[in-house]
Chain A
Amino acid sequence: MLPREHKFVSADPNLCTGCNVCVYACALEKDGVFNPLRSRIRAVRLYPSGNIAITCRLCESAPCVIACPRDALTQSEENGIILVDDDKCDGCGWCLEACDFGAITIHPVTKKAIVCDLCDGEPKCIEICPVEALSLASRDTHATISRIEASRKLLKAQEESEL
């Protein structure tokens, strides 16, 4: 049997307002201080009004793991999160460049790679997001949502063409 797909924190760009509350909450939860550089999730605004929060997507064959020259990164088989061995990580930042999403960063103080660890299954960012734009979802969930959206559009087009 294939293992069930891992779930990661995903933002709905239609709902996300770019408010950064997740960014604040993550740094607070992990380090007890405020600094986006300490946050495992980052919000992006594309002017004038494109907003999305981005964090680790638990890629299969994660490029960050592959890129690490010191084998400091491994991926958990249990839940897919990227595990950082702080003894091996020297903060070179190659993982950061390997990640297409900018989801992995170097901690400003420890100088070790930091990445979303899903807060033991109850991510603080999801709890605090004021507009419920964040949720735990697997890639398959995303595909299902896309199928539903596509069907809606298609059926709407059909309805209109029948008029």
Chain B
Amino acid sequence: MDGYAGKILYVDLTSGVSRTEPLPEKMAEDFLGGAGFGIKMITDLQRPGADAFDPENPIVFSLGTFCGVMVPAASSKWGVAAKSPQSNALGEAYSTGFFGSEMRRAGYDIVVITGKAKSPVYLYIENESVQLMDASHLWGKDNWETEDMIKEELGDPDVRVASIGPAGEKLVRFACIINDRLRAAGRTGMGAVMGSKLLKAVAVRGTADITVADVEKFKELSFEMYNRAKGPATEKYRGLGTAGNVLVLNKAAAMPTRNWQDAVFEGAETISGEYVNEHYVTKIQGCDGCGSRCEHVATVNEGPYKGAIGRVEYEPIYSLGSCTGIDRLDAIIRSVQLCDLYGLDALSAGVAVAFGMELFEKGLITEKDTGGIDLHFGNAEAQTEMLRKIAFREDIGDILAEGVKRASEKIGKGSKAFAMHIKGVEMTGYDVRGLKTAALGYAVSRRGADHQRHGAYGPDLKGTVDRFKADKDRGPLVVDGEDLYSVMDSLILCKFNRGIWNYDEMAQMYTYVTGLPMTGKKIRQAGERISNLARIYNIREGLGRADDNLPIRCMKDPIKSGVAKGSLVTQKDLDILLDGYYEARGWTNKGVPTKAKIDELGLSEYYQYLKGLAKTPKAEKAEKEG
């Protein structure tokens, strides 16, 4: 196998022992990399039903297939998977920067970390050398300091670091992992899992060659893809960036505002992509090996947030802007930076602050709970202070740090009705009430509320379907999106480049790089396999149809203004959507993969987790014969 390093590294923090195993070729072909590897490893290695903070649990770092190889927007993509402390189900998050390619050159495709250290450590991998280093002096440091200090003490500026901040240390359930300063493996609380193991960081340095199987064919396809990556399919990301979505979604009444009380934000103009690019973006730079570059670095040069630096994207502008009613970008940039420093998932953090704001405005909490903060929507200072209180678990921040699901259960007083989460994971920035395909995608998303498992907002916003209407035909659309994204998150190809690839080209690239046979059809089936295994894992951990739901507010409170005024998703809508989806998946109407489907995908060994849940095909014929 070329491309792949061909090795899995296992590190046990309890015993301090590490070992390697070869990466099986069949596993590579069946699960590709990234998401596929991560989901498979946690399914195989984690005790079913274990608590997310069980020290025995594995946290799995897995590289995209093309790490260290010149494939546009894929050279350094890496993923992390573990049981999520938010959903108690699949946790997975992806990041880029320069960490992934370094890990590949160090000689590993997967790093599995189990156990819990006795005192804070960081893992230092330098090619074959694997060491646990004391991190007592790093405990409490923010992510940027941590990276700088590790590079300094190792005396090697080429070391790449993925670390947690104070939020991960304090087990904030939506703590993230940050690498290369501005990149985050953001969602589902992977930083908290690291924190629970007293693992402050993973530092890596690698010097090995990465080979490709067919250099000439590889060159031809790679150069073609770089050309495409400069073309119209990526223009949006190279230009305004995803922040360009602000005005588009606001006009479509799909920009959640003030904790989803509405979907049109009156302050959209001053938090728009147009505005941020004109006033704050100082540089657009790229991740390792990327031909299109999208990283819009914004800096604040005056005013109360002078000196703030952050990477601006649509999602944090939603979560820390419209969702909290904040219409000034300097405050949003500072808030994003604080999330990076503390190691908070900027999406969940914003939604948690917004939830706190609604609690405050409804009088369910007071300044006594907030530690004197006037936690009204739109109060930028309150937001930055509350982010700190969440990261350090002070006052009401301690409760919000549990995520809005647990916070609403603890606070009660009807606050569940406006706790914006699915499966315990806070909502991302598409108002699904008026985007019915997206509503289905969100409801069934394997990692909880998320637009990135399926991209199902696409058909709604492009107008290829009636976005206000629920019908069973949305099922196949979401299935297609999920399986495509399962492939993309495994190879890992940046979704900003999704417009330049088709399945056949992905398969060709796979073969030219690895030398393993692959076809468009086969790679697509790998996507379906990965989607199904994720479902099996979630079912094993206790989820089912009832968890494929939407926040109560999305089903009770209609959008108040704009073109989507009056929209919501009724239970009847949701049932129609789910029925269509399960049918398209070949699952039972309880959302359980059937034995036939599992066998077809080569996942028979996992059927044990579904026994008694999945209907076995009736053995009628055998009975008759008998």
Q: Which residues of B contact A45 (CB under 8 A)?
A: 285
Query: B293 near A19 (CB under 8 angstroms)?
Result: yes
Asked whether B589 is an interface residue with its Cβ less than 8 Å from the other chain, the reply is no
Asked whether A17 is an interface residue with its Cβ less than 8 Å from the other chain, the reply is yes
Q: How many B residues touch the partner, as a band?
A: 35 or more
Q: Which of B56-112 contact A (CB under 8 A)?
A: 68-70, 75, 98, 105
Q: Which residues of B contact A21 (CB under 8 A)?
A: 70, 226, 289-291
Query: B292 near A48 (CB under 8 angstroms)?
Result: no
- Say whether chain B's binding surface is mostly helix, strand, loop, or mixed: loop
Query: A35 near B285 (CB under 8 angstroms)?
Result: no
Query: A38 near B282 (CB under 8 angstroms)?
Result: no
Query: B226 near A19 (CB under 8 angstroms)?
Result: no
Q: How many A residues touch the partner, as a band?
A: 20 to 34
Asked whether B210 is an interface residue with its Cβ less than 8 Å from the other chain, the reply is yes
Q: Which of B285-307 contact A (CB under 8 A)?
A: 285-293, 295, 297, 299
CB 8 Å contact bits of A45-62 with B (1 = contact, 0 = none): 101110100000000000
CB distance from B258 to the nearest CB of A (A): 31
Query: A34 near B293 (CB under 8 angstroms)?
Result: no
Query: A49 near B286 (CB under 8 angstroms)?
Result: no
Q: Which residues of B contact A47 (CB under 8 A)?
A: 144, 181
Alpha-carbon distance A18/B96, docked complex (angstroms): 13
CB distance from A84 to the nearest CB of B (A): 20
Query: A17 near B293 (CB under 8 angstroms)?
Result: yes
- Known A-B contacts A33-B210, A35-B208, A49-B297; the reply to A19 vs B70 at CB < 8 A is no
Asked whether A25 is an interface residue with its Cβ less than 8 Å from the other chain, the reply is yes
Q: Which residues of B contact A35 (CB under 8 A)?
A: 105, 207-210
CB 8 Å contact bits of B214-238 with A (1 = contact, 0 = none): 0100010001001001100000000
Asked whether B182 is an interface residue with its Cβ less than 8 Å from the other chain, the reply is yes
Alpha-carbon distance A12/B97, docked complex (angstroms): 21
CB distance from A41 to the nearest CB of B (A): 13
CB distance from A145 to the nearest CB of B (A): 20
Asked whether A20 is an interface residue with its Cβ less than 8 Å from the other chain, the reply is yes
Q: Which of B160-216 contact A (CB under 8 A)?
A: 181-182, 207-212, 215
Q: Which of A127-147 contact B (CB under 8 A)?
A: 128, 130-131
Alpha-carbon distance A131/B289, docked complex (angstroms): 12
Asked whether A32 is an interface residue with its Cβ less than 8 Å from the other chain, the reply is yes
Query: B226 near A33 (CB under 8 angstroms)?
Result: no
- Known A-B contacts A48-B181, A48-B182, A128-B223; the reply to A37 vs B207 at CB < 8 A is yes
Alpha-carbon distance A17/B285, docked complex (angstroms): 4
Asked whether A8 is an interface residue with its Cβ less than 8 Å from the other chain, the reply is no
Asked whether A108 is an interface residue with its Cβ less than 8 Å from the other chain, the reply is yes
Residues of chain A touching chain B, judged by Cβ–Cβ distance below 8 Å, are 17-21, 24-25, 28, 31-35, 37-38, 45, 47-49, 51, 108, 128, 130-131
> Lowest 6 CB-CB distances: which A-B pairs, in order?
A19-B286, A49-B283, A24-B70, A17-B286, A130-B291, A17-B293
